[in-house]
Amino acid sequence: MEDVILVEDQYYILATSSLADDRTRVVKHGETFAVFDRYGDIQPLGLGEQGLYHEGTRFLSRQILRLGRDRPLLLSSTVKDDNALLAIDLTNPDFTVDGHVVVPRGTLHIFRTKFLWQGVCYERLRIYNYGLMAVDVPLVLQWDADFADIFEMRGLRRQRRGYRLEAIVKHDGIMLG
């Protein structure tokens, strides 16, 4: 598969769609709100407004779900009328090994739900295998935090900012500081 195209000394990356998506999903509870893309991810793309915010500060600036190296395929996503719950249906793309499809597209169904409650974002993943055999597919979750306040998100430049602490990874969680 050729992903890089050369045209008159310029390189282009072949893509089936834009990474930036203007159809965001917003959930809110009290002083906490979150802006996700249709896949339920938080990506540092476009205007950079996606994130998890609490009391005017963005606590998460990235939250991405991948199946191996690939983004799952979107089936549907919706926010409940009261903006309290985001529900996303995803499926797997073709997984290939040495050019042979080992897990066909649509074999896995990923049901992802997110809701906010008392300043915390909860996420539930349910993965169903509709194939005839067990599959081994890596599930990758990425997080990042910038702790930018809402005014910085709107373009204000601070003279000083705090500094990042090292992430702490434990068997039951991760802490971004």
**Mean pLDDT on 145-157:** 79
pLDDT of amino acid 5:
63
pLDDT of amino acid 108:
97
**Is-contact 44 37, C-beta < 8 A?**
no
Q: Specify the pairing of strand 32-36 against strand 51-54.
A: antiparallel
Residue 156 has pLDDT above 90, yes or no: no
- CA neighbours within 13 Å on the CB side: how many for 149? 9
Residue 68 has pLDDT above 50, yes or no: yes
**Mean pLDDT on 124-150:** 91
pLDDT of amino acid 1:
42
pLDDT of amino acid 176:
82
Q: Which amino acid is located at 72 in the chain?
A: P
Helices (H) and strands (E) in the chain, counts: 1, 16
| Bigger pLDDT: 170 vs 4 | 170
Pick from 103, 107, 76: nearest CA to 90: 76
Please write the tens of the pLDDT for every residue from 10-57.
Answer: 655 555 555 555 689 999 999 999 999 999 999 987 667 899 999 999
Alpha carbon distance 35, 28 (integer Å): 9
Please write the tens of the pLDDT for every residue from 73-130.
Answer: 999 999 998 889 999 999 999 988 888 999 999 999 999 999 999 999 999 999 999 9
**Is-contact 29 84, C-beta < 8 A?**
yes
Model-level pTM? 0.79
pLDDT of amino acid 8:
66
**Is-contact 51 41, C-beta < 8 A?**
no
pLDDT of amino acid 22:
61
